[in-house]
Structure 1
Amino acid sequence: MRRIFLGIASAMLTLGTASAQTSGTAPATDTASGNDNQAVATTTANAPTPAHGRNSFTQGEARRRIGSHGFTAVHALHKDATGVWRGAAEKGGNPASVWLDYKGNVGNSAIAG
């Protein structure tokens, strides 16, 4: 009986150790980036470029999500051929072009003026 118990305990310890191993950690923006579907977000970082893919955000949701990243006066939103919401907004009184990808990443680039 003792042998069975020790065998089971040893197997459980081995399984627990194997499941705790990871293949390394990626930088936060690498995790957020890319066109591969990421079922569970593992970072709060935004990708530097939008991921292309089927976007399920409505226009209102896109406007609110972009606004939650500090942008105001969000307007001219449209979904492009790659599934990315694009539009114009302001941040800190400066105009910017903004985007929202299907993963929820929000990005911008300042508009020269």
Structure 2
Amino acid sequence: MRLVLAVAAAAVICTTALAQTNTNSGSGIENPAISITPKGGPENTGTIAPGANSFTEGQARSRIEAQGFANVSDLRKDGQGIWHGKAQRNGQDVEVMLDYRGNVASK
């Protein structure tokens, strides 16, 4: 009886391990011209993702500035909940984005 239970338990463990999938399936923005600066946090993957964004314009500006950007302007939220705007970093003009998780990207 113990042998049967041990074999059954091993089968369940092996099946569970084989059923796992790669959750990094390439979703999000994949463009080498975009530099991603993740905010941090357990659910934060570092990619810009659409979602219900509750950041106000002022909060979006503050989060972008906290990532080292200056002169943040022309902020607007698109239909996917991603804030877009203009800013400067290291003396260069860049486009910035902020998603609902607080991730900031520039290009």
The TM-score bracket by the shorter chain reads 0.5 to 0.7
2:84 corresponds to 1:86: yes
Give the distance between the partners of 1:33 and 1:56, measured in 2 at CA: 21
Could you say which residue in structure 2 is the equivalent of 1:12? 9
Greater Rg by CA: 1
Structure with the bigger RCO (C-alpha within 8 Å, sep 6+) is 2
Q: How many residues align?
A: 95
User: Could you say if the C-alpha distance between residues 11 and 101 of structure 1 is closer, same or farther in structure 2, counting changes exceeding 3 Å?
Assistant: same
Could you say which residue in structure 1 is the equivalent of 2:74? 76
Residue segments in structure 2 that go unaligned for 5+ positions in a row: 31-41
Give the distance between the partners of 1:33 and 1:41, measured in 2 at CA: 17
1:31-58 per-position Cα deviation (integer Å, ceiling 9, x unaligned): 4449xxxxx85844x35xxx44422334
Give the distance between the partners of 1:24 and 1:97, measured in 2 at CA: 31
TM-score after normalising by structure 1: 0.58
TM-score after normalising by structure 2: 0.60
Task: Pick one of 57, 66, 84 that aligns with 2:64.
Answer: 66
Residue segments in structure 1 that go unaligned for 5+ positions in a row: 35-39
